Amino acid sequence: MSADRQAMPYVPDTTETPRMPGRPRHALPADACDAHCHVFGPYDRFPLQHTSTYAAPDAPAQRYLAMLDALGARRGVLVQPAPYGVDPSALLDALAQGQGRLRGVAVADSQVSDAELQTLYDGGVRALRFVEARDPSGRLFPGSVGFGEVAALAPRMKQHGLHAQLWAPCDVYMQHLPALARLGLPLVIDHLGSLVPARGPQDAVFQLLRGLLADGAIWMKLTLCRVGTAPDYADARYLHDAFVQANPDQVLWGSDWPYVRMGERAPAADALADVAWEWLGSDALRQQVWVDNPARLYGF
C-alpha cells in the first residue's frame, strides 16, 4: 500500500462558499456539458485525505448540481481534486447523485488494482488525472499522481476504457508530452495548457500543443479563467481560437467551478459561458464543443 493510501483523513476547520452562477445571457445547447468542475464534501462523510494547499470549498454534490442547473448545462464532468488523493468516495457519490448526467475523472497510482479500476468505470469514471505541479522544494502537490505514472498505467487504462487528463505548468509539457503522445492513450490537457498569453503565438509550448492537437494526439480543455485576464479574457482569445481551429473535434469547454485558489477573483460560470458562446461564433460549433465532443469522449 502506498503512503498516499495510508494518509490520515481530516475535516477542514473552515470552508469557503463558492460563487454560484446566474443564468447565461445566451442559452447553452441542449445536453451541453461543463467538462471541468470539482466537488468537495460533505466533509463529515468525505473528509480530505491530505492537507489542502488552498481554502477548502463547501462544494458538495447537491450544490454542484444546482450550479449546473443554473448554468443550463445538462451534463457535467467532475475532476477529483488533489486533497482527496486516491480516495474516490466523494467523486463516486456525486456521480451516483447525477443519475447518468455526470462523468468523472479520478486519481489513481500504479498500485491500483484491476478491480478498483473496474469499480471506477462502473461508477461513471472515464479518466485518471495526473498532475506535474510541484512546490518550491520540488515535491508534487499533496495527493497528486505525477506524469511518471502514466506509462505504467496506460495498458490497464486502455483495457478499462480510461483516458488520461494532464495538468502542469506549461513548460513541463515540453519535457513529457512527446513521449506520452506515443502511448496511444487519449490525453486531455487542462486549462488551455496553462499557457502564458503574453508569450505570444511563437511560444514553443503553444506550437507543440497546437501541433499535437491538430494531429489528434491530444484533446484541449478551453478553461479560460486560469489563463486569461478577467473580465473579457481578450489576451487569451488567440489561444482559444487557434486550438478550436486546429481540431474542433477535440476541444472541450469547462468552467472550473468552484475555482480553488482564486478567492475573491473567482469568476461567474455564466460569464465564462457567455464569452465562449460569443467566441465560438456559430451554432454548429457550439453544438460540437458543448455537446458532441464531450459525449464522444466521456460516453454520454
pLDDT, residue 193, reads 97
pLDDT, residue 2, reads 42
How far is residue 189's CA from residue 192's CA, in Å, rounded to a whole number? Answer: 7
Stronger pLDDT, 138 or 99, i.e. the higher one: 99
**pLDDT category, 10, cuts 50, 70, 90?**
confident
pLDDT, residue 15, reads 87
Q: Evaluate whether 84 touches 90 at the Cβ level (below 8 Å).
A: yes
Which residue intervals of the chain are DSSP H helices?
61-71, 89-97, 114-122, 150-159, 170-180, 204-214, 237-246, 269-280, 283-287, 293-298
pLDDT, residue 6, reads 46
Predicted confidence (pLDDT) at residue 151 exceeds the cutoff of 80? yes
Q: Evaluate whether 20 touches 67 at the Cβ level (below 8 Å).
A: yes
pLDDT, residue 141, reads 84
Q: Evaluate whether 168 touches 200 at the Cβ level (below 8 Å).
A: no
CA 3, distance to chain mean position in Å, is 25
How far is residue 174's CA from residue 170's CA, in Å, rounded to a whole number? Answer: 8
The predicted-structure confidence for 163-196, as pLDDT tens digits, reads as follows 999 999 999 999 999 999 999 999 999 999 999 9
How far is residue 37's CA from residue 288's CA, in Å, rounded to a whole number? Answer: 20
- Work out the average pLDDT over 155-169: 97
Predicted confidence (pLDDT) at residue 5 exceeds the cutoff of 60? no
Predicted confidence (pLDDT) at residue 207 exceeds the cutoff of 50? yes
Predicted confidence (pLDDT) at residue 148 exceeds the cutoff of 80? yes
Domains and CATH numbers, the chain: 33-298 (3.20.20.140)
The predicted-structure confidence for 245-269, as pLDDT tens digits, reads as follows 999 999 999 999 999 989 889 999 9
Query: What is the residue-averaged pLDDT of the chain?
Result: 94
The predicted-structure confidence for 22-76, as pLDDT tens digits, reads as follows 999 999 999 999 999 999 999 999 999 988 888 899 999 999 999 999 999 999 9
**Percent of the chain's residues with pLDDT above 90:** 88
Q: Evaluate whether 254 touches 37 at the Cβ level (below 8 Å).
A: yes
- Mark 236-270 as b/e (b = at least 16 C-beta within 10 Å): beebbebbbebbeebbbbbbbbbbbebeeebbbbb
**pLDDT category, 161, cuts 50, 70, 90?**
very high
Amino acid at 193: G
Question: How many other β-carbons are positioned within 10 Å of the β-carbon of residue 192?
Answer: 25
Please name the helix (run of DSSP H) or strand (run of DSSP E) that holds residue 85, with its range, or none: none
